[in-house]
Each structure stands twice: as structure tokens, then as C-alpha cells.
Structure 1
Amino acid sequence: MRTTRALALTAGALALGHGLPALTSLGPVRPLLAPKLSGPGDPGHVALTFDDGPDPASTPLFLEELAKTGTKATFFLLGQMLEKAPWLGRDLVDAGHEVAVHGWAHRPLLIRGPRATLDDVTRAKDLIASVTGQEPAYYRPPYGVLNSAALYAARRNGLRPVLWTHWGQDWTAKATPDSVLRTVTRGSLAGATLLLHDSDCTSAPQAWRSTLGALPRVLERCAEQGLKVGPLREHGLR
């Protein structure tokens, strides 16, 4: 009986250790548990990041909009999406943007094992590097949910995990340009890392249109506050 109980306690402890980092996906908790993970940076700078691309239906329109102001951003790419549109990955880098790893497939890591997680991150990183010629430096897990396996996979691949301080909640069918602007600019933007999406591959159909509609006003709001907008590589991550 004691052996069975000990094994049960050990299994429970291992499961807790595996999933405990996922608590950092909770916005109010993250600053307390892992203040650096959100991506706070230079108080005079805002890091602009996009997830889930590259998408031929939408990413080129974001590139056009960013080019109007010469703004550079960090794009967290999915391996599955890049495999379908490798030229878009090259277009991102040629335009001066930064590419980073969002994984191969947008699947919750808590339901995947360590080997599958390592494979997911490694495959995505290797494809991004080979297609774009740029070695990724950052990793953001699907849904912002980390676990011990994801942290190990990131370390093995020389990637720094970065989540966000502000998001636009731009993936829902109810999102509008006004709601995205209002949500992503809530609170102080000084040193913020913004999360937006340039693809609807895991969002409501056409949700990216609300993001694209809000983008010029997001940049204007930052400029009004005297903040420079750019990629994570220029953010002075703490």
C-alpha cells in the first residue's frame, strides 16, 4: 500500500512539475511568477509581434501597412504555414522584419509529450532558418501555454521564450478594429510587447481584418506617446 501511494505521489509531482509553467499563460499571474517572460523592455520602446503566419491571404497586407511607416515587427511563424508559403518567409526578412518560432503546429503542448514537443519546436526552427536565412532567437508557444517540455525544447534550440504584456483579443468573431485598438492599448504601453495576429488559421474566419484595420491607429497611439515601435531584437528585453 505504501509503495502504491508513493508511486501515486511521485506521478502527481511529476505531472505538476510538467504543467506548472502553464500558469504563466494567465496574464494577472505572469508578472508575479515570471516577470521577464512577458517581454518587458526599454520603456521608450514597444515590441510589435504577430502570430500564426505567414498567410498568403493576409500577411502581404500587413507588410504593406507596416511599410507605410517603415515599422518593423517580429513575426512568430508556424512551420506548417511557412511550408505552404516559403516565399512569404523570405519576403518578411527581405523587408527587414524579424522571424521567430511559434512551433510547427498550433496544438496545445499540455496534451503532447516531451519528444513530440521537442520535434515540433526543432522542425519549425530549422525550417525558418533554412527558408529565410535568419536564425530565430525567440519562441512563443501556441496559446502562450508553456510546460517543462517546451522550456527544454526552447533551451535545446537556443531560443528565448517570450509571451506578451498586451494583446488585442483579435482572434474572435466579435473583434472589430475599435475593440482591438481599445484592448491592445489598455494600460501603459511603455516597454510593452504587443501580441496581434496576421493570420486567421487558428482564429475566426477573416478575424485578421480587424487587426489590420486597427494597426495604423495602434502605431499612431504609440507615436503620440513618444514611443518607438520595432521588433523584439530592438526591445532591450530585461
Structure 2
Amino acid sequence: MSHRPGHRPPAWALVPPAVLAAAHIVPAATWLPGLRLRCFPSLAGTGRPGHVALTFDDGPDPASTPRFLDALDRLDVRATFFVLGEQVVRHPEVVRETVRRGHEVAVHGWSHDRPWLPSPVRDRREVARAAAAVRETTGRSPRWYRPPYGILTSGRWAAARSAGLRPVLWTAWARDWTAEATPASVRSTATASLRGGGTLLLHDTDLVSAPGCWHATLAALPGIVAACREAGLGVGPLAEHATS
């Protein structure tokens, strides 16, 4: 690599590619539940002991998200929806209805891609673009960011902080994105590891999951909420979760 006389290359250009790659991907080890819960409880979404944060990823989807909004109304529960910017632009009316019903809208990125290669400029641009889409559609500034697949690289962490967003993953999931998911499996998987102070990951769409899998999640939702309430736990959005 040559440079003009008197022109100093940026510091990152002098770093070996292997080091750059490691710095990019190593933070994604927080995807591992045990490590995240032990070492990064705030990132895991650990909140006040008497509460469970209910979160949904990958929408909005006009075919399924309204069904979840209706179910949550019947249960008298509010949740946090992590939305994709490209879907917000396509279906702004669904996002506005989500807010009108009292739910929280957060950022899941612009598209649902895997960030294997470092691209900090792209990360910053796309996270900011998604946050702007939420803000312009809802009239409210989003607070939270959850990267697709829960892969929080250094670039995406920096992009979230630059956009004024707080990264948060989850303490429990339901494996509701698989073709094998049933209402019973979604409920049992969700409640098996869900405790007071936990954040539950669910999906309100099959846009990047097995076709039709959202039906199992929707059917399991009343049982999940009932199990939390029977354990004396409140259920609500991250805004009420008081993560440390």
C-alpha cells in the first residue's frame, strides 16, 4: 500500500487484518447465554426481580403483528417490539398502531443480516437509518437496540451508542422461529429458563423464520403470561423493567 508524501494513513489501516477481525467479532461472544448472564447482566436484559420484559423481534408484519397486538390487548399486557427499519418504511401504519396501543418500539437494525465482516461505516449508517425511521414514524425516539441474531459486534455496539441506543439481548427465548415449534414447545421452552428480572425473546413474524411459525408463538402467549403471573411476576416492556 502506498501513500502520498506527507500523508499519514488512518490508524486502523496499520492494524493487521487478523487483529481487526478479532476486535470486530470477539464482542459477539456475549451471544453465549451463560457468559452474558454472569458477566453482562444489563446487556442480557436483567431487570427488577418482580418483573419480566416481553419482547418481540423482526417485525412489523401486517400479516401477523396485528394479531399479536390484539392478543396482548386481551391479556392487558404491553411489550417491546424490536423492528427492522426496512419493514418500518414498508408498513408504517402497523408501527403507528403498535405505539397507539401502548407498546414500545425499539431498533433491530435496518435489515436482518449477519455481520461477519467488519464494516463500521455501514453499521453506523444502517443503525442510524433504522432509528430515524422509527422516530419519524412514531414521533418518539427509540431507546433500545438488539442486533439481528443477537450478534453484537464491536461495530454494531459503537453504532448503537452513536445513535443514542442501548444494546440489550435476552435472558430467555422460546425457539419459536423453527419449523418444529408448537404452542406447547414454545411455552415450555420460554418458561423453563425465565425467571423474575428476565427478558424474554419471542417473534411476531416469520419474515426470517420458518413459514407460519408465528402461529405457535401467538397460541402460546396466553400460557406464558399466565405462568408469569402465577409466579407473582409482572409482565411488560423494557421501559418498565428498570435494567441496571
| TM-score for both structures, normalised by structure 1 | 0.94
1:32 to 25, 34, 38: 38
Distance 1:143 1:121, change over 3 A: same
C-alpha contact 1:93 1:134 (8 A) present in aligned 2: no
Distance 1:122 1:9, change over 3 A: closer
Q: By how many angstroms is 1:27 displaced?
A: 1.5
Letter in 1 for 2:213: A
Matches within 5 A, 1:186-197: 186-197=192-203
1:53 to 42, 59, 63: 59
C-alpha contact 2:176 2:214 (8 A) present in aligned 1: yes
SS of 2:58 mapped into structure 1: strand
For 2:68, the equivalent position in structure 1 comes to 62
C-alpha contact 2:115 2:151 (8 A) present in aligned 1: yes
Distance 1:112 1:78, change over 3 A: farther
Distance in structure 2 (CA, Å) of the matches to 1:188 and 1:178: 15
For the pair 1:227 / 2:243, whether they are aligned, the reply is: no
Q: By how many angstroms is 1:17 displaced?
A: 1.1
Distance 1:109 1:33, change over 3 A: farther
Q: By how many angstroms is 1:44 displaced?
A: 0.4
Letter in 1 for 2:46: P
SS of 2:42 mapped into structure 1: coil
Distance in structure 2 (CA, Å) of the matches to 1:74 and 1:47: 8
Distance in structure 1 (CA, Å) of the matches to 2:171 and 2:34: 10
For 1:86, the equivalent position in structure 2 comes to 92
For 2:153, the equivalent position in structure 1 comes to 147
For 2:177, the equivalent position in structure 1 comes to 171
Percent identical pairs in the alignment equals 50
For the pair 1:124 / 2:126, whether they are aligned, the reply is: no
C-alpha contact 2:58 2:207 (8 A) present in aligned 1: yes
For the pair 1:211 / 2:211, whether they are aligned, the reply is: no
Distance in structure 1 (CA, Å) of the matches to 2:118 and 2:98: 30
Letter in 1 for 2:205: S
Structure 1 window deviating more from structure 2 (37-46 vs 108-117): it is 108-117
CA RMSD of aligned residues (A): 1.4
Gaps of 5+ in 1: 1-6
For 2:5, the equivalent position in structure 1 comes to none
Matches within 5 A, 1:92-107: 92-107=98-113
C-alpha contact 2:176 2:213 (8 A) present in aligned 1: yes
Q: By how many angstroms is 1:195 displaced?
A: 0.2
Q: By how many angstroms is 1:9 displaced?
A: 7.9
C-alpha contact 1:178 1:214 (8 A) present in aligned 2: yes
For the pair 1:137 / 2:143, whether they are aligned, the reply is: yes
SS of 2:217 mapped into structure 1: helix
SS of 1:134 mapped into structure 2: coil
| TM-score for both structures, normalised by structure 2 | 0.92
Q: By how many angstroms is 1:194 displaced?
A: 0.3
